[in-house]
Structure 1
Amino acid sequence: MAEELWPVPKFHFEVSWGDVDLGFQEVTGLEMETQLIEYRAGNDLGLITKKIPGLKKHGTITLKKGVFENDTTFYDWFADVQTNTERREDIIISLLNEEHEPVMTWTVTNAFPVKISGPDLKSDANEIALESIELAHEGIEQTAG
C-alpha cells in the first residue's frame, strides 16, 4: 500500500545569510512573475494577439522577528547599504520537515534592505515587540530538498 503524503506545515523554517543567525517569525514575498507581452504581426490575418513571456519581475521580501536587547542587525545592514551600495547578500530560506531537514529551499540573490520598521508600541498591549526588514533582490531560485 502506498504511503499517504501530507503537505508540509509552514511554521517550521529557517533563514540564513552570511554569518547572521536569527530566528524569524514570518517571511513574506516569495513571489516571481513574468511580464506578459502581447504581439500581433502586421500581416497576420487572424484577429488574435500572440502572448509571449517578457521580463521576469520580483517583489520585495519581508522578514519579521522579535526585538532583542542590543540587537541592531537590521539597522546595521540598512545603514551600511546607504554608504556601501555594493553590499548585497544571498539569503537562503528553507522550509523544514520534522527532522529539521530542508523540504523546499528558496535562494534569494543579491538582496539588500530598502526599508526597516520598528515595533508598534502600545502601553496596553500584551504582545512581543516585532521589527521588520524589507529586501529588494535580483531573483529567487527554488529547489526541492
Structure 2
Amino acid sequence: MAGEKQESPWPVPKFHFKATIGSKGEIAFQEVSGLDTEYDIIEYRAGNSLDFSTVKMPGLKKASDITLKKGMFKSDSSLFTYFNEVKMNTIARETVTIQLLDEEHNPMFTWTLKNAFPMKVSGTDMNAQNSEVAVEEIVLAHEGLSFEAA
C-alpha cells in the first residue's frame, strides 16, 4: 500500500548530489565521475620458493582524476577562471567534497578529495543538428580520496 514502509529497501538513487570546491564554494554540476581509488600490485617471488608462482602484495595507492560536468551559462566563466589560476608551482590546492544527498537534502555519503587542482578544462562540443544544452567539464587531479557514510 502507498505510504507504508517498504520491507526490502531499494538502492540509493544517484541523481541528487552537490559538489563543493574549497574556497570556490558549492557549484552545481550535472555529472561527477572518477570517484575510485586502487592499489598498484607488486608481484614477488623468492628464488628458493617451492611455489612456482608469484605472491601479490598491495603497493602504492592511487586515485583517478575526477571529472565534473555542468551546463554553460552566458555570464558564468568560473571553471575557466579557476583553471587559469594554475601557474607552475603556485596553485592553491583545494579540498573538494562531493556529497550524495537524500530526499531532504542531507548527505548520505561524502567523498573528499585532498589537495585538488584543475588539470583540464573543456568547453562544449557544438553540433547544429542536435538540440542539447552546452556542457563544459573540468578535470581535477588530487592526492587522495576518502569516503564516509553519514
With normalisation by structure 1, the TM-score equals: 0.92
Residue 73 of structure 1 corresponds to 78
Give the Cα–Cα distance (whole angstroms) in 2 for the partners of residues 77 and 48 of structure 1. 49
Residue 32 of structure 2 corresponds to 27
Residue 93 of structure 2 corresponds to 88
Q: Percent identity?
A: 50
Query: How big is the shift at 1:29?
Result: 0.5
Structure 2: tracts of 5 or more residues without a match: none
- Report the residue type matching 1:143 in the other structure: E
Residue 110 of structure 1 corresponds to 115
Give the Cα–Cα distance (whole angstroms) in 2 for the partners of residues 99 and 141 of structure 1. 24
| 1:10 maps to which of 14, 26, 30 | 14
| 1:121 maps to which of 121, 126, 149 | 126
How many residue pairs end up in the alignment? 145
Label 1:135 to 1:19 Cα distance change in 2 as closer, same or farther (>3 A).
closer
Residue 39 of structure 1 corresponds to 44
Query: How big is the shift at 1:83?
Result: 5.2
The RMSD of aligned alpha carbons is: 1.8
Structure 1: tracts of 5 or more residues without a match: none
Offset from partner CA, 1:4-29 (integer Å, 9 cap, x none): 32210010110012242221100000
**What is the DSSP-based 3-state SS (H/G/I as helix, E as strand, rest coil) of the residue aligned with 1:75?**
helix
With normalisation by structure 2, the TM-score equals: 0.89
